[in-house]
Amino acid sequence: MRVLVACEFSGVVREAFAAKGHDSWSCDILPSEIPGNHFQCDLMEVLHDQWDLIIAHPPCTYLTNTGNRWMKPELKHKFPDWEMQRANAIDFFMRIANAPCEKIAIENPAGVMSTVFRKPDQVIYPYQFGHNFSKRTCLWLKGLGPLVPTDIVEPEFVVFNGKKYSKHHQQIGAGRKGRAKERSRTPKGIALAMADQWG
């Protein structure tokens, strides 16, 4: 298959499909961290090429529920463009969802797309695929079946200020340089499951 992994700079999902013999490409405005087929450009430049499968990880900053607090009236003066940026993020997501491809998977945290588009087809966690941490990840699927867990392990948590957090995400906590990039990486176990089950 010809596979496009959209909004991926790590190359993890791309290389999982490449290892299965697929013509697999990643695309991001950032360069690829590992050698391989990569478009460093705006996704819209390649989205409408002939793809058999698109797996997309659109930026979640303005889509996730955790960003809703910035839309409160008392904070609007700090983030005056938030609503416009959210509208742009929704438009970007929907362009992917409506791309001319029979098989599409879009990954994102729980957020506004469940309301403005539709509820996700599946929710997965890294600990279902061999990684001992919890990160709730929604999948919107077209022409694809749900991912079947491959290696369920016990997730590790830490308690901070009376709240339970994933140990992995606490270790790359707020204020740490490169946190956003680190949190956006697809765990290898999930990438392998995608390649095995959707390839």
Domain range annotation of the chain: 2-198
What's the CA gap between 20 and 13, in Å, rounded? 11
What's the CA gap between 145 and 58, in Å, rounded? 20
Taking only the tens place, the pLDDT of each residue in 130-189 is: 999 888 999 999 999 999 999 999 988 777 677 766 665 555 555 555 556 666 789 999
- pLDDT band with cut points at 50, 70 and 90 for residue 123: very high
Q: Are the C-beta atoms of residues 128 and 152 closer than 8 Å to each other? A: yes
Q: How many residues does the chain have?
A: 199
> How far, CA to CA in Å, does 138 sit from each of 44, 60, 73?
23, 11, 29
Residue 35 has pLDDT above 80, yes or no: yes
- Report the alpha-carbon angle 139-199-26, nearest 5: 70
Taking only the tens place, the pLDDT of each residue in 49-87 is: 999 999 999 999 889 877 666 667 777 777 788 889 999
- Report the alpha-carbon angle 66-69-73, nearest 5: 160
- The CATH number given to 2-198 is 3.40.50
pTM of the model: 0.88
Terminal C-alpha separation, the chain: 7
